[in-house]
Structure 1
Amino acid sequence: MLTIVLAALCLSGCEAQVRPPQPEKVEKVGEFPPADRPVATIVSSRWSTEEARDRVNEAEKVMDRAGIKAGMTVADIGAGEGYYTVRLAERVGENGRVLAQDIVPEVRDALAERVARDGLDNVSVRLGLPADPKLPENSFDRVLLVHMYHEIAEPYEFLWRLHPSLRGEGEVIVVDADRQTQNHGTPPALLKCEFEAVGYRQVRAEETESAGGYMAVFRADRPRPAPDAIRGCRIDRDPALPAPTATDDMPS
């Protein structure tokens, strides 16, 4: 009896020792080229404090430049603690929808609690996979990737699977810093190359001082190639260069 009681106590009080669920399997669709660049580690679900970001009006400026309006359906990928999620929910209004996604279960759960606590009825929270955002097809007017693209280890597969989720003139909005990927940024030329290799077209790019870098906007209005046909981007490995740069033979 004592053994049974101790076992029960451990099951109720030793949750940290429970083995996490195995990653969901992704349908095999072909071989994607590897990323020829370092991948930044996920060090925090927070890029900066929300108060500091609001002091420079970051979210409002990014949403304005991204053309996010009432009634739109928007995905916030790598949503973290939900800085953009809650502000997107207010911007799109009751007739719009926001899907907030993260790949870390604990972060997803904390965000879901925040969404429920704040009564954000137009927001749903989902767990994604590192190489698959798991978004429904033909559903989004805007997809935001804010200060997280450099953490994607399989960018070609990720972008390939993201491609069908956009509506006709839907756009992917990337906010990042112009520095090496291992230093939590992405050189703009490399970003453009990786997107265009998978069937996107860059429609504009501009500096975003309030968000600590630049904003690049892409549309999925080119055919999505078969995974085996994707031509990977290469970067210059010269250590004297301040940052990786695209080579001349990158897709245009």
Structure 2
Amino acid sequence: MNFALRIALAGCTALALAGCNEVDPDADRPETSREFPRAHRPVSNFGGNSVGPEMKRDERGEAQLVMDLADIDQGTTVADIGAGEGYYTVRLAERVGRKGRVLAQDIDRDALRRLGTRVERERLDNVSINLGNEDDPRLPESSFDRVFMIHMYHEIIEPYSFLWRLRPALREGGQVIVVDVDRPPQEHGMPPALLFCEMRSVGYRLVEFIRKPEIRGYYAQFELEGDRPAAAEIVPCKPQPTKVAGINTRDN
């Protein structure tokens, strides 16, 4: 074998080995999310944000305020995503009454078991429980007037696929309610400008934004706008300043 041929074969072998050692840039993501853009932001540790015991939250009037702002009434159907121990679930169940329904969803099986025990103990016949996925809330289609995501949006690791799969669950005129804290995601919060961008990229329009001390953060309300985009059409958001400009806000 001549020298030139040996060099050529060695080069081919090196290229082949390099190809074998290539790392899939999406290997750390769920397979069901890889057609969607990656979120260009950190994500807080799951369950790391403590918003205080239920009694303290009730003393501030948190749940009552949020339900009032969201127009929750008798007969409303609500999905409580990231329900956890059920602070909002049980209060929503009382507010919507026998003609309404509450679906409590979480990805934590242990939390759902504890919540199931609480639902049985308190005889909440209008509550059902559903196990979600990190990139899919797994909600039935055309079922909800309101979807609550309270102090949990910053934990969503795949916001574009999650929000994309959430859209069909809303009834006509349905809205998504987000309560979070204005601080970086890695500090268990979500800058409002970044939240607005991620929601808008999947076809949600902001209709109200309010900062309230009772909820230890802000309240944002969204509705659907236009058709659901194809996954390839979604443009990911870049990290943005926390200052909110160009929208109607209320602070008090």
Quickly name the TM-score band, shorter chain normalised: 0.7 to 0.9
Cα distance between partner residues in 2 of 1:142 and 1:43: 23
TM-score (norm 1): 0.82
- CA gap of 1:219–1:27, structure 2 versus 1, over 3 A, is farther
Matched, 1:169 2:207: no
Name the Cα RMSD after superposition.
1.8
In the TM superposition, what whole-angstrom CA distance separates every residue of 1:103-135 from its partner, at most 9, and x where no partner exists?
011011110110011100000011100110000
**What is the CA distance between 1:48 and its match in structure 2?**
1.4
1:74 aligns with 2:78: yes
Secondary structure of the residue aligned to 2:120 is: helix
User: Counterpart in 2 of 1:211?
Assistant: 215
Q: Check the 8 A contact 1:174/1:215 in 2, yes or no.
A: yes
What's the CA shift for 1:44?
Answer: 4.8
Change (3 A) 1:28 1:131: closer
Q: Which ranges of structure 2 fall in alignment gaps of 5 or more residues?
A: 1-29, 245-252
TM-score (norm 2): 0.82
Alpha-carbon offset, residue 221 of structure 1:
2.8
Distance 1:69 1:44 in 2: 31
Residues 176-191 of structure 1 mapped to structure 2, 5 A cutoff: 176-191=180-195
Q: In the alignment, residue 34 of structure 1 is paired with which amino acid?
A: R
Q: Which shows bigger deviation, 214-223 or 84-93?
A: 214-223
Kindly state the Cα deviation for residue 45 of structure 1 after the two structures are TM-superposed.
8.1
- The Cα of 1:42 is off from its aligned counterpart by 1.4
Post-superposition offset of 1:228 = 1.0
Structure 1 moving runs of 4+ over 2 Å: 26-30, 43-47, 243-246
Separation in structure 2 between the aligned mates of residue 148 and residue 164 of structure 1, nearest angstrom: 20
Determine if the alignment matches structure 1 residue 117 to structure 2 residue 124.
Answer: no
User: What is the aligned partner in structure 2 of residue 222 from structure 1?
Assistant: 226
Give yes or no for the alignment of 1:91 onto 2:79.
no
2:156 paired residue number: 152
Tell me by how many angstroms 1:47 deviates. 2.9
CA distance in 2, matches of 1:41, 1:137: 29
Amino acid at match of 1:113: T
Question: Could you list the runs of 5+ residues in structure 1 that have no partner in the other structure?
Answer: 1-25, 237-242, 247-252
| Equivalent pair of 1:45/1:81 in contact (CA under 8 Å) | no
* Number of aligned residues: 215
| 3-state DSSP of counterpart to 1:90 | helix
- Higher Cα radius of gyration: 2
Matched AA of 1:117: R
| Equivalent residue number for residue 25 of structure 2 | none
1:91–1:207 distance in 2 versus 1, CA, 3 Å: same
* Residue number in structure 2 paired with 1:194: 198
Counterpart-to-counterpart distance in 2, 1:215 and 1:177: 9
Distance in 2 between residues matched to 1:83 and 1:31, nearest whole Å: 35
Q: Matched residues in 1 for 2:33 and 2:52: separation?
A: 37
Q: Secondary structure at the residue paired with 1:142?
A: strand
Compared CA separation, residues 228 and 93, structure 1 to 2 (3 A): same
CA deviation after TM superposition for structure 1 residue 67, in Å: 0.7
Q: Helix, strand or coil for the counterpart of 2:102?
A: strand
What is the match of residue 43 of structure 2? Answer: 39
Instruction: Give the distance between the partners of 2:67 and 2:85, measured in 1 at CA.
Output: 18
